[in-house]
Structure 1
């Protein structure tokens, strides 16, 4: 065999060999409980986020992408501003975890009331508590309360597969072997949304996903966030979460189910006032 043929043979042979999995400084983890502890610690390191992004929605009713400015802080502080193609404001959502305020530019109305999942879904097409929504945006996967765990290694996908079990319900977590961050989460045996995280980037000592996708299979809908320029773990500006209505904008008070409440009648003016 001449040198050229030998080189080609070796190249083909190597291309068919599986690449070694980079397990990072922790090495290959074989215990499910240990991996769960490390994954939980890794995703708990991010507490605040602020910056620009894109929000994309895909559903049977339509699909589209808008620009956004976001500020989120655990446990439930959230501000999201949406803009159209010409950078004109579309809507602004603010919540402190207990109450919410939503300015709809097209209607020129300001909705306010309890920060229930139903009310927050006026702005984003997902019905989640504010604390859970903030967690998802910060790359933190909500876990089911497991009574046992199992661990395997998917060598084809080059991922850990950590499964949490709770009776007939299970949560399958695909975990990056080096960064120990959840790449995909799927709950089985229960109607629940799935999560996908992608485009992990190092920011200082943190590794953070810049693509977040939430999928609701029963509704054939997905909500995606792509962060384009963000900072992490900076002290939040609490004035951003002020729930006051803009000046000269009609206020609509809604109940927990999103139904408009009648305006509060003002007491009659006293004589001579």
Structure 2
């Protein structure tokens, strides 16, 4: 057998060999509770991010993607700026977890009110509390409260399968053995959404997925986020989360359900005051 044929044979032979799973320095984990605690600890190390990315939305109302500047800090501080193809501002969302402000460039209006999921869905096609939205952007998975847990190893996908059970509701977590980060979360038995995390990158001692996908199957909607240039756990400029309206832009107050509120009636000015 000549060298070329031998090389081809070796490549074909090796391609059929299962790759060795990298369990990291701890080795394989066999206890579900231990894996859950380690996974939760690993994802909670990221507390803030800021930088550039791309947002993509797929929904019955349409599909599209835009450039974005993002700043997020736990528990509920968030700023998202969207830009069109020509880098012109489309919209800016800011929330401190309690209140929100939304500037819509096309309308030249600034909406403000309680930071309810309904109001935040004016900007993003998913109705989530700001704390939960920030967690998802930071690569964290909200866990259901579990009565029990089960653990198995999927050697084909090379991931742990950690399942949380709460009555008729279950959450299946696919966990990467090396960095102990969730790569997919699926909730069944309750109205919820699925999460997919991919392209994990190291930032010093921190690990963050640079691709985030939220799938709301009941609404036939998905929200994708891809980070292009970000920093982690740096103290952000808190003025980024200023809720004040841009100067000269009309303000629209909305209630918890997103309905416009009438202007506040000012008391009449008494003579001589």
CA 1:82–1:7: 2 relative to 1, 3 Å? closer
Q: Name the CA distance, whole Å, in 2 between partners of 1:11 and 1:55.
A: 39
CA 1:23–1:246: 2 relative to 1, 3 Å? same
Q: Name the CA distance, whole Å, in 2 between partners of 1:86 and 1:246.
A: 21
Give the length in aligned residue pairs.
Answer: 272
The residue aligned with 2:226 is 226
Over residues 46-105 of structure 1, what are the superposed CA-to-partner deviations in whole Å (9 max), with x where a residue is unaligned? 000000011100112210000110100000000111111111111110100000000101
Q: CA deviation at 1:3?
A: 5.8
Over residues 157-195 of structure 1, what are the superposed CA-to-partner deviations in whole Å (9 max), with x where a residue is unaligned? 111110000011000000111010000000011111000
CA 1:83–1:17: 2 relative to 1, 3 Å? same
The residue aligned with 1:26 is 26
Name structure 1 gaps, 5 residues minimum: none
The residue aligned with 1:156 is 156
SS of residue matched to 1:26: coil
CA 1:170–1:265: 2 relative to 1, 3 Å? same
Over residues 181-238 of structure 1, what are the superposed CA-to-partner deviations in whole Å (9 max), with x where a residue is unaligned? 0000000111110000001001101111000000000111100110100000001211
Q: Name the CA distance, whole Å, in 1 between partners of 2:228 and 2:13.
A: 40
Matched, 1:121 2:125: no
CA 1:29–1:271: 2 relative to 1, 3 Å? same
Q: CA deviation at 1:10?
A: 4.3
CA 1:210–1:11: 2 relative to 1, 3 Å? closer
Q: CA deviation at 1:270?
A: 1.7
Over residues 220-266 of structure 1, what are the superposed CA-to-partner deviations in whole Å (9 max), with x where a residue is unaligned? 11001101000000012111111111111111110000000100011
The residue aligned with 1:87 is 87
Q: Name the CA distance, whole Å, in 1 between partners of 2:104 and 2:13.
A: 60
Alignment of 1:19-58 (within 5 A): 19-58=19-58
Q: Name the CA distance, whole Å, in 2 between partners of 1:46 and 1:98.
A: 22
Q: CA deviation at 1:6?
A: 5.9
- Alignment RMSD, CA only? 1.2
Q: Name the CA distance, whole Å, in 2 between partners of 1:137 and 1:230.
A: 12
Over residues 115-135 of structure 1, what are the superposed CA-to-partner deviations in whole Å (9 max), with x where a residue is unaligned? 000000000000000000000
